[in-house]
Amino acid sequence: MSYSKEIEKAYDLAKESYAEIGVDTDTAIRRLSRIAISLHCWQGDDVGGFENNNQLVGGGIIATGTYPGKARNADELRMDLEKAMSLIPGRHRLNLHAIYAETGNERIDRNKLKATHFSGWIDWAKAKGLGLDFNGTFFSHPKATNGFTLASPDDGIRRFWIEHGIACRKIGEHMGRQLQSPCVTNVWIPDGYKDISVDRSGPRKQLKKSLDEIFAEKIDRRYLLDSVESKLFGIGSESYVVGSHEFYMGYAIENKILLCLDTGHFHPTEVISDKISSVLMFLDRILLHVSRSVRWDSDHVVILSDELQAIAEEIVRGDYLQRVHIGLDFFDASIDRVAAWVIGARCMLKALLIALLEPADKLRQMETSGDFTSRLAMLEELKTLPFGSVWDYYCLKAGVPVGTAWLQVVKDYEAEVLSKRI
Ligand code: RNT
Ligand code: ZN
């Protein structure tokens, strides 16, 4: 019997097991195949970008590790992304940062960036049938070295970053138009203080004013979806972060834009899974930056953890698939970077599949009727149902390697391509 026949046979058995609890595996697979994950370009080069400024990474963002083979230019990054995407089932999106502009030999400062500087990416995305998302880069820049950008007390610094924010929205709009799919354009700034500060409201007032200027122009939501990302603390902003959760939650509600919840941006024991249904009471849509924090916002590669599972369950149980934009946000330079994308994205999809394989109505009915015994029993039994056979079958049908087979592809790519980059 061939390998694929075995996978199909295992799937048939799994299908029966799930049918017994009222779940149709084919439907779950179909729903999963429609979910696009936004793959973050910055895992491919440790958030370096292509500005040729001697890798001035700042804003508390740190990719640790010295694994060889990081992408040195846009062509290499696209090549690596293609390799990763060939190992991830489904059709996904690419999330770009402004520092990944292709400006040739010209030095274009961030406030002068235009959509033309991203035409290489847009053409590539078009050819591959991918949607694009975008981010202003408010860090790793000489004008961000004192820790303040949009909330800076310095008019000139603030003006520069406001102009960058405006430029990025125009670029996002263009990407959305070109690709006929709204471009989620996110703002995250590092602004804050390392040590105890005395004026917590001043910088927040300043930030609000700056954001109002950035978002002043109304742009068609068919092309652009604005989003703002909060954070609790960062390296160099341990004591105070201007753009806190409460700040951006209020701002997003008042301005009817998206709020970005990054899994690593809250207290270490605080989880975002429980925030989704609350936030979506007041906002149309949200963006997720799915990451993995280990003791702090360390941006480890996403794994199939309890919290990842809880996030996926919330999205599926709440019927939020159309309202939650799922983006990945981690950067690990200690392992193969292509593998990092593949592991993280496959885990996100696995978590969603597990959630889609729940007997949702049945569970809800147990809960509302007060039968908590059955609810707990069912939730625990679900954990050992043959989800892996459904996942394998999905990978097989999607034309990507099943099980660990993708790892050899990455190893070969590493030997043939990545190890030759010095
Ligand atoms: C930083 C934020 C932000 C970045 C990326 C590169 O703490 O999470 O989203 O990780 O924009
Ligand atoms: Zn983030």
**CATH number, domain with residue 206:** 3.20.20.150
- The answer, yes or no, to whether any atom of ligand 1 lies below 6 A from the CB of 262, is yes
Q: Which of 229, 313, 336, 358 is catalytic?
A: 229
Q: Which of 297, 307, 313, 336 is catalytic?
A: 297
Residue 208 belongs to a domain = yes
Query: What spacing in Å lies between the alpha carbon of 381 and ligand 2's midpoint?
Result: 34
Q: How far is CA 342 from CA 11, 43, 61, 394, 406, in A?
A: 23, 11, 22, 15, 9
Q: What sign for the dihedral angle of Cα 253, 212, 234, 343?
A: positive
Per-residue model confidence (pLDDT) at position 3: 87
The CA distance from 303 to 308, in Å, is 7
Per-residue model confidence (pLDDT) at position 55: 60
Per-residue model confidence (pLDDT) at position 284: 98
- The answer, yes or no, to whether any atom of ligand 1 lies below 6 A from the CB of 393, is no
Query: What spacing in Å lies between the alpha carbon of 343 and ligand 2's midpoint?
Result: 18
Looking at the CA of 241, name the nearest ligand: 1
Of 221, 238, 215, whose CA–CA distance to 184 is shortest? 221
Per-residue model confidence (pLDDT) at position 59: 84
Burial class (CB in 10 A: 0-12, 13-18, 19+), 188: buried
Of 185, 175, 179, 80, whose CA–CA distance to 126 is shortest? 179
Residue 280 belongs to a domain = yes
The CA distance from 357 to 382, in Å, is 9
Q: Is 306 a catalytic residue?
A: no
Query: What spacing in Å lies between the alpha carbon of 45 and ligand 1's midpoint?
Result: 14
Strands 192-193 and 240-241: antiparallel
Q: How many CA atoms lie within 13 A of 110 on its CB side?
A: 31
Q: List the residue whose alpha carbon is closest to atom 9 of ligand 1.
A: 188
Atom of ligand 1 nearest to the CA of 260: 9
Per-residue model confidence (pLDDT) at position 57: 72
Q: How far apart are the first and last CA of the chain?
A: 45
The CA distance from 118 to 124, in Å, is 10
The CA distance from 252 to 254, in Å, is 6
Residue 101 belongs to a domain = yes
Q: Is 329 a catalytic residue?
A: yes
Measured at the CA of 289, the angle between CA 399 and CA 292, to 5 degrees, comes to: 85
Per-residue pLDDT of the chain in tens (422 residues, 90 and over written 9)? 578 999 999 999 999 999 999 999 999 999 999 999 999 999 999 999 999 765 667 788 899 999 999 999 999 999 999 999 999 999 999 999 999 999 998 999 999 999 999 999 999 999 999 999 999 999 999 999 889 999 999 999 999 999 999 999 999 999 999 999 999 999 999 999 999 999 999 999 999 999 999 999 999 999 999 999 999 999 999 999 999 999 999 999 999 999 999 999 999 999 999 999 999 999 999 999 999 999 999 999 999 999 999 999 999 999 999 999 999 999 999 999 999 999 999 999 999 999 999 999 999 999 999 999 999 999 999 999 999 999 999 999 999 999 999 999 999 999 999 999 98
In this predicted model, what pLDDT tens digit does every residue of 82-122 receive, in sequence order? 999 999 999 999 999 999 999 998 999 999 999 999 999 99
206, 214 contact by CB (below 8 A): no
Which residue from 95, 229, 293 has its CB within 8 A of the most atoms of ligand 1, so it is best to mutate?
229
The CA distance from 360 to 362, in Å, is 5
Per-residue model confidence (pLDDT) at position 224: 98
Looking at the CA of 133, name the nearest ligand: 1
Parent domain of 178: 35-358
CA torsion 174-180-181-187 (nearest 10°) is: 0
Residues 6+ apart with CB under 8 A from 331: 40, 42, 43, 46, 47, 61, 63, 299
Give the chain's domain count.
1
Residues 6+ apart with CB under 8 A from 184: 38, 95, 133, 134, 172, 225, 227, 258, 287, 325, 327
| Beta pairing partners, 225 | 184
